[in-house]
Structures are given as C-alpha cells and as structure tokens.
Chain A
Amino acid sequence: MDLFGKTVTQLRDLIKNKKVSSTEVWDYFAKRSKKYNKDLNVFLAMPEMEPDAEKGELSGIPLAVKDNFCTKGVKTTASSHVLENFIPPYESTVTLKLKKAGSRLLGKTNMDAWAHGSSTETSDFGPTKNPWDTMRTPGGSSGGSTAAVAAYLAPAAIGSETAGSIRQPASWCGVVGLKPTYGRVSRYGVIAMGSSFDCPGPITQSVEDAALLLQRITGKDPYDATSSDVPVPNYTFEMKKKRKFTIGVPKEYMKDLDPEVEKKVREAISEFEKMGHTVKEVSLLDPKYSISVYTILQRAEVSSNLGRYDGVRFGTNRDIFGKEAKKRIMLGTYALSVGYYDAYYKKAQQIKTLIIKDLKRVFSEVDLIMAAPTPTTAIKLGEFEKYAFFGETMDKLNEAAAVAGTPAISIPCGLDSNGLPVGLQIMGNYFDEGTILSAAHQFEKETNFFDVIKIGREKYRD
C-alpha cells in the first residue's frame, strides 16, 4: 500500500483495520528517514524499533521528537556538544504519554542548540535544511521537527516553543504547528530554556492530527508544578464545531511585512470573511515591546537554567557552550545582577502584565486574532548570522503570545513567488485551543491549505 502523505489519523485507521501492520509503517518511515537525512540533516538519533509498543490511540505511529525531550535510554543532546553523550535516565512526560498511547519514537530531531535560535544554525551538529529549498533554513528552533513533517520523513512530530519555535518553522516549512497555552502541556523532562515560556506542541500535516496529538499530551502533571489543572476538552469535538467567529486583525502586526507575505495573509483572512466570519481591525501593543520583555526574561531564565551544566552530574564543562548560549547566559546574568534587576527584570515582568491585559482586552471583543507568524518566508542559510538581533525580529509576531502564555497556531496559507510557503497565525485566548483548532480546520476544509503541504512533500515521494 502507498503510505505516502498519509496523516496520523489515516495511518491509525489503516493499522486499526489491519490494512497495514505497524511494522510496515515503521519500516516505511525508518527507510525514508535514513534516505533523506543525508540531504536534510533532520535526525540526530534514530533508535531501533521498540518491538513491544503499548496499545492505544496512536498504536504503531512513529513520531519524530525534538531533541530537547528526555527519552530514557536514547541520547538527548538539545543539539549541544555539552550533552553529546547524555543518555537520560528518565522519560519526559510528553514522550511518556505518547508512548503509552502506543506511538514509537522514530527519531530525535535537530534544533538550535538549547533552542537558542530561529534557524537550527546554532546546532552544534550542523543546520537542518529546508525541504522546500535546501539552500534555506527551515526556521527554528524546532526546525528538525518541521522539516521532518514537511518532507514526510515522519507523519507528525513534537516540537517545543519558547517564543515562535513551533510557529515560525512550521510557517517556513509549510506545515501545521500548534503552541498550546503555557501550562497546558507538561514541561517535565524537557531541557529547560525559558521556564516561564516553554511549551511543547504538535507539528502535523493536518489540523485533525494536531487535535489528536494535543489531546494525548495535555493535562495536569504532578511533576510540573506549573502545569494547569483546567479541565481538558475533547479537541477533535471542539475542532469539528462549525462556529462563526469574530476575528481581530491587529494593525501593528500587519506592518513591516514582506509584501507577498502580507498579501497571502490578507487573502487568507478574507477567506474567513467569505466563510461568514466577522473580521475587524484591532489594536495591540507594538510587538517591539514583546521582543524586549521576552529578551530580558528569557535570557535571565537561560542563565539560571544553564547554570546546572557544570560537568559534575552530566554533560561537559562550561567551556563547551557555543557562542549563542554564552551570549544569552551573560545577558541574563547581567540583567539579574545587582543594580540592574529593577531596571530590567522587574520592568520586563511589569510589561508582561501590560501585554497580558492588552491581549485580554482584545479577546473581550474578538474570539481570535489573526496575523502573519513571521515577516518573511524562509531565508537563506547564513543570513541570520549577519544581523545580531535578526532571530528576535523574525519572531516578533510570535512573542506576545509567548510572553502572555496564550495559545496560537501557524497553518499554511499559500506560496510566495519563490514557491516558498507562507503561514497564517491564529491566536486564541487562554486555554482556548479548541476555538483555534475549529477556525484552522474550517480553513483547511475550505482551501486544503492551497495544497501547500501536498506540494511540499511531493519532491520526497520516492
């Protein structure tokens, strides 16, 4: 049977109805992954098939997982030489939940080292290539995971986002990437970057798959005190509801965009209008403030989180950290040091309060906010290095939701004149992933994402 392009939902049904065995599915993806990994540099580790997978909703589904999720017995590096020999003695909650649902770990995917970056170029193991154009970056930091899905080396993947690390590479690789509400998904066993931001999420070929995977990984976890006990709805049910929404388009998020990105995003928003949703312009705080707040708080948390790497319990000595990590540790240390704490850290936390209030105000008027996830389509490898602050600029449209901890998705909405995918970002209110999924699903039903996902993987058919 030709499995090419089958979604997780389709594969699950094929396995359940015994049209294909889980071993055949594994072999299919293992073979593809090995074949294309040379060109794309997606996987850092590809374990052998675990023979006795558990039975559950994801029985026999191989998944790619970002290399910052601890996987017991499988090397986990966060793409840093510091952890190049680290074999976790325990499993992250997210990967444990996926295992218990019957899925198998296909491989650990490349990322920016410690998730510090937006292109996978800070990986100590070389950058991942964008499957659409291997001269370009897939985005990051979950670039390995999004490239794996775009080239169909895996039917779906797990990524993590601190600010944009799911949405931005999903947009540049032309796949679906969902960042849930902060605390909706446990961070236990995820190598910490910015603990008040970090959020695991699914990267998929369809909205239905995003709902399916989100369902499996959410929920209160006793091992992550910041995980939320807000009840988890049935996301597939929420997704299928055909509700009409009021959609806000923040004018501050539609400026300084590449004209082609702006055009595609506006066209996508008018699709929603055609479908009977109400669209109105809204106003949010200028995203430049989110960049500053994010930069301070995240660097501060990085300096604290990476403090544990002293070469005593695991990892190497601190001199092995790459330049980007060192830069972030130093800025964070500076922001937290005597005399600067109030001016930087406290000020940033106060503006975080303003950003939350600002979003809540807009969400009292609209159900969803739509904007671009990034100002441009995928850029060439090497471009990021030229500009000191380029990564943050590329993520500026993602940072408000990251700072506030609200959920958002990036879905494909067309191609630019270079044939590169453009994403549409849909932001929702706290714990309202269901509404986001419903809107994204309605768009998918109406447009099939203008065949972006299909076109992207076609090059990798054989």
Chain B
Amino acid sequence: MPKTSDLTKKDILHIAKLANLPILEENIEAYRKQLSETVSYIENMSELDTKGVEPTSHSTNMTNVFFEDGTKNKRLLSQDEATSNAKLTKKGKFAVKRLMG
C-alpha cells in the first residue's frame, strides 16, 4: 500500500486538477497534511487478509433493476423547470463556455 510520505505538494495539485477544484496556494500545505493523516489511518486495511474476497458494492446485492415502460416520463421536468436554477441560459438552454476554438 502506498505510504503517507508519498503525498506531496505536487500530488495535491494533481488531485485538485483531476477534481476540477480550485484551491488556494496558502491552503495546500494544510490539505497535504490532513490528507496524509487520513491516508496513514486507512493503512490499517492492510492488516486484514482479503485474498479471494469478493468486493461488495450494493449492501443487499440487488441486481438488474429496470424501469417499467413509461415510469421515467412521469418525473420529466419542463425545459423551464430544468433551467430555473441556472445562472446563464440562452433560449431556454444552459449556456456554457466555449469548449473548442
């Protein structure tokens, strides 16, 4: 398992970039320290032998859940409702920054 000391300022900047999260330079050290503490705590997981153990995602193991035909439509929002909380809209649509030049 990776060691605590692995978390560097570079790691924090990389993670923040992956998460699309703006962070302030002055907070980087605090994040680095706190995340390192957490990562060193969870290293206790390596004390347990999990060889051959199936991972669980859903606790009651439900599988194959489907919608009845038509059910989905009942909760459709109108275009006005769907855009009612957006700061920027254009002709009833969400307005976003240009993605390509």
Contact = CB atoms under 8 A, between A and B. Distances in A.
Interface in B56-101: 56-60, 62, 65, 67-68, 71, 75, 77, 81-88, 94, 96
B39 to A, nearest CB: 8
Contacts, number: 149
Contact of B53 (A288, A344, A354): A354
Interface in A176-222: 181-183, 196, 222
Contact of A225 (B55, B65, B68): B65
Given A89-B81, A388-B38, A312 B1 contact: no
B29 interface: no
Interface in B31-71: 31, 34-35, 37-39, 41-42, 44-48, 50, 53-60, 62, 65, 67-68, 71
A373 to B, nearest CB: 20
Interface residues of B, number: 53
A87 interface: yes
Nearest to A188: B75
Nearest to A353: B56
Contacts of B30: 323
A225 B81 CA distance: 24
A306 B59 CA distance: 22
A356 B68 CA distance: 31
A347 B62 contact: no
A343 B21 CA distance: 24
Nearest to A325: B21
Contact of B45 (A289, A356, A430): A289
Contacts of B37: 388-389
Given A182-B59, A352-B56, A87 B67 contact: no
Contacts of A347: 1, 45-46, 50
Interface residues of A, number: 62
Given A312-B94, A318-B22, A350 B55 contact: yes
Interface string A333-357: 1100100100110111111111010
A226 interface: yes
Interface string A286-326: 00110111011000000100010011111101110101001
Interface string A422-447: 00000000100000000000000000
Given A87-B84, A292-B44, A312-B94, A323 B27 contact: yes
Contacts of B27: 323
Interface of A: 85-87, 89-90, 181-183, 196, 222-223, 225-226, 228, 288-289, 291-293, 295-296, 303, 307, 310-315, 317-319, 321, 323, 326-327, 329-331, 333-334, 337, 340, 343-344, 346-354, 356, 388-389, 403-406, 430
- Enumerate the 3 nearest inter-chain pairs by beta-carbon distance, A residue then B residue, closest first: A405-B59, A349-B55, A314-B85
